[in-house]
Structure 1
């Protein structure tokens, strides 16, 4: 009766886990609201003034650096890109343009990445104009005597295309006698460098502040998940800062993390925009402009520029994909901890070797699904000596089990004496009862590290394997809609794909090879694989490929080790026979 009650409790608990999984994840890690494109946009002079005053009011460094939201109602992307004179951007990895009205870099797409797995889908767009429905752009500008150059100021360009080896210089001559120049250059990857210069040809001194900013909407942001930060990011005081989400930035106030800023910007799972300040004193901060608009600023300290003199500063802008090798190369070139733009977490010391191995296997076989399988084989091979030690310990424990029962019976009234005698028995027989837990303890960080690699590595994005079009996404072949033949999408916890079913089956088979005598534990082991099948179904297909391969290798490994330890096989067969006898007795009792 007690076992039946425990089984019922386990079933109810499993059902609550299945039904509450989506709700709990949705509550703890909510998706950004799907807001109207114009919600929160300041589109009247009074609203613009209010935002500007809140962000850059008296006593705030950079006063006069007003909101970057255009004063007009958002228009289509095509119309926004079609307005104004533009300088084209064309590099091996980036394409886009610079709007000469305001000298704004507001048009960037990634040549090597598509929006969907369809090869004809458009390239991934990162930057879009301020007047478009989803603004995201960068600007290198100037404050003069507390006021910025008007947003509608038209700049002159000495070239038509910004490309590697072909820089472009933008020039604007102000009515105040100051001449502003921005010398832009771009490398072969994702870095744009801006040398900002101010020359004072007026009759008096001027107070100038070069600045750089990135402004964006959070509506296009990826989910801020517990293993993958999305939102404001940077390295301050030598440490990577993942502390702030978009909702953590108070409207109208600056948020300035402690420590000198090495770089700062905004990150998604696969994309990054970041400012890298040049030499000199500067203030780096994040701001919420209200609604879904946010900004990262680097504002140089005010400098008094006498008549007839000039100053210059250099800032850089990274805008592109979070490719680990590229980020690490920039870090090696002097950008401190730039590789941590990917939120590797605590286990990055062996996550990166895993990723390196994946790349090597991919170069060897040309498919990341096969590469994951090969990586799993390597991990299991490295773990084999540990598993062998586990089985040896299990065999030793099985061999002394009769003597352990004798000790328990002999000292059942004296727990302390019983424990002492048990420890003496373990020592005399050279058995460690905790050795069986070691492989599990070691595999937890390995599994989590692989999970992060497969989730964060852009190399997994849109990589196919058999029927799977994207290894970074869940298995698309769900059973309840007959693998896409029926016109509906099952809810999250019922989107059970082929890989999830295989996971439940292979895990159940591994548990069956290790039968236990405790009835309650046996019932839990029978239920757990199918609970995990539901829980793991929404995870990346690449991770399920790893886990299925690992389970299959575990089955083969256990078969081999059982052959090396016949006492374990005998014990397993005896427990299996006892289990069958219990079932038969239960059926006989039910009939009578």
Structure 2
């Protein structure tokens, strides 16, 4: 009767985890990147990059190529940025990242980050002034450019004279990476003093495809007064208040996507007023306003702000942080354990640069982790051996004090102390593995260095799920299974390796635990299937190393080996 009860409880627990896990994981562990490939009919083909719909109606969305031709422009050409500056409104609204592709297809277009107003996924930055007693430029102002192209060696200066004695200039320069500097200058040749306050803004239409979750922030973000702020998201602005304001000394403000960042960066010691605003439909804006200046006749004032528009490369962000941009690497939402995740990433990336394959780097990282944990595993097995040795005495105590639970607990603690046994020692390696696994999960999900990285054979993207599914006969049948049945080869190998690993463990005294451990490998196979392939490579390698380590340690602790063989 008790065995049947245990089986029923184990089945109910398994069902609760399997059916409840999708809801839990959606909030705490968002899905991996969309598959880079699909395998149907026995062939591997790239998956097209999905489009993003905006709230604007079809009539208001126009072809980008046409819009780009409607205003005078100055080209942008750097190793990592291409595009153009719109002389109407002094906007940077055409940015493409030539070193990144939408998909793994060799003919895939480069990632487009900025697009002009009126086009799909409009996203751009601009510069301007607020003034007292003077005429300032606006979004329709057509500027005059000095310079044929913006490159790392050739800046471009935009000028506009308001006809009332004030000359406005924006001197744009760009480095080898993703940072554009804008020096905003006003010269007053009028008869009276004028007040000017420079500002800059980033405007975007539509919400990114990547969701904003508990573990990965996507949306408005900034660093204010030395602290990273992830509290504002699109939903906050939609539901109100529609404006969120900040006063800060140094820092930055902008929008972060999973892999991309657009941010306004005032000087390291500059006081600025930042705010996020909600416009009509799905329009959002981040503003940064610098301090105001009163210009006497014959005087000029220049204030500089920088615009970062590009990929969230770890080393690039860290380089800008060393250059004075406070907490710039927090544009990557490392979370509470960044102090642990960043070393994991640094080691993994160094292994990749050394070995040339991220899959092999993950396997080598697993070897390193297991080597570090080997002494802990030795203590675990020694503790398990000691626990096995005192089982007869424990059973005698349980029988003797079966009607006196408090006395039983006292006698058990005394037995552990006398025999120098720690019943919790066997759990330590599991608890140590949790932060390592979570750190690798964050690295695979967040760092662009992992994006579209292949391993071997059919695994073309380690940051995406395994595309080879057993329910369509490994791609021979022309359909893609639904997500809850998308069991790939890696998930199957995970289940098998975990099954044999559990078989090597000593038999559990509790029948309920035996039932749970017998079901656990196959339950984990379903749970882990949607995760990034790189995580499964890590776990499978870890299971195989654990089995090898168990075999070796069983030779040192024969009592455990005997228990395992007779279970």
1:569 partnered with 2:558: no
Once the two structures are superposed, the pairs formed by residues 219-368 of structure 1 within 5 Å of their partners are: 219-250=207-238, 253-257=242-246, 259-260=248-249, 262-278=251-267, 280-368=270-358
Q: Which moved more, 1:477-486 or 1:526-535?
A: 477-486
1:423 partnered with 2:409: no
CA gap 1:15/1:425 in 2 versus in 1, 3 angstroms: closer
Deviation at 1:36, TM superposition (A): 4.8
Deviation at 1:326, TM superposition (A): 0.7
Residue number among 115, 118, 132 corresponding to 1:145 in the alignment: 132
Spell out, residue by residue over 1:305-344, the C-alpha distance to the aligned partner (whole angstroms, 9 max, x if none).
2332221100001111111111111101111111111111
Counterpart in 1 of 2:512?
A: 520
Secondary structure at the aligned position of 2:168 is classed as: strand
Counterpart in 2 of 1:436?
A: 426
Hey, what's the Cα distance between the residues in 1 that align with 2:554 and 2:413? Answer: 26
Deviation at 1:257, TM superposition (A): 4.2
Counterpart in 2 of 1:396?
A: 386
1:496 partnered with 2:468: no
CA gap 1:258/1:430 in 2 versus in 1, 3 angstroms: farther
Conservation of the 8 A alpha-carbon contact between 1:265 and 1:275: yes
CA gap 1:174/1:29 in 2 versus in 1, 3 angstroms: farther
Counterpart in 1 of 2:40?
A: none
Give the TM-score of the pair, scaled to structure 1.
0.87
Q: Which moved more, 1:360-369 or 1:390-399?
A: 360-369
Higher RCO (CA-CA < 8 Å; seq separation 6+): 2
Residue number among 547, 550, 557 corresponding to 1:558 in the alignment: 550
Conservation of the 8 A alpha-carbon contact between 1:38 and 1:74: no
**Which structure 1 residue ranges, 5 or more long, are not aligned?**
42-71, 577-592
Counterpart in 2 of 1:97?
A: 84
Counterpart in 1 of 2:473?
A: 482
Counterpart in 1 of 2:461?
A: 470
Deviation at 1:24, TM superposition (A): 5.5
Hey, what's the Cα distance between the residues in 1 that align with 2:130 and 2:421? Answer: 74
Residue number among 115, 120, 135 corresponding to 1:133 in the alignment: 120
Hey, what's the Cα distance between the residues in 2 that align with 1:165 and 1:99? Answer: 20
Spell out, residue by residue over 1:329-379, the C-alpha distance to the aligned partner (whole angstroms, 9 max, x if none).
110111111111111112222211111111221122211000000001100
Hey, what's the Cα distance between the residues in 1 that align with 2:276 and 2:60? Answer: 25
Once the two structures are superposed, the pairs formed by residues 171-182 of structure 1 within 5 Å of their partners are: 171-182=159-170
Hey, what's the Cα distance between the residues in 2 that align with 1:361 and 1:25? Answer: 29
Deviation at 1:26, TM superposition (A): 5.5
Once the two structures are superposed, the pairs formed by residues 40-79 of structure 1 within 5 Å of their partners are: 73-79=60-66
1:39 partnered with 2:56: yes
Counterpart in 2 of 1:534?
A: 526
Q: Which moved more, 1:379-388 or 1:343-352?
A: 343-352
CA gap 1:480/1:189 in 2 versus in 1, 3 angstroms: same
Deviation at 1:166, TM superposition (A): 1.0
Kindly report the root-mean-square deviation, in angstroms, between the aligned alpha carbons of the 2 structures: 2.3
CA gap 1:444/1:257 in 2 versus in 1, 3 angstroms: farther
Residue number among 159, 178, 183 corresponding to 2:147 in the alignment: 159
Conservation of the 8 A alpha-carbon contact between 1:513 and 1:572: yes
Hey, what's the Cα distance between the residues in 2 that align with 1:535 and 1:129? Answer: 42
Give the TM-score of the pair, scaled to structure 2.
0.91
Hey, what's the Cα distance between the residues in 2 that align with 1:122 and 1:214? Answer: 24
Spell out, residue by residue over 1:38-91, the C-alpha distance to the aligned partner (whole angstroms, 9 max, x if none).
5389xxxxxxxxxxxxxxxxxxxxxxxxxxxxxx93311111222211111111
1:170 partnered with 2:158: yes
CA gap 1:114/1:141 in 2 versus in 1, 3 angstroms: same
Hey, what's the Cα distance between the residues in 1 that align with 2:467 and 2:326? Answer: 40
Counterpart in 1 of 2:10?
A: 10
Counterpart in 2 of 1:183?
A: 171
The number of residue pairs the alignment matches comes to 544
Deviation at 1:27, TM superposition (A): 7.8
Q: Which moved more, 1:292-301 or 1:545-554?
A: 292-301
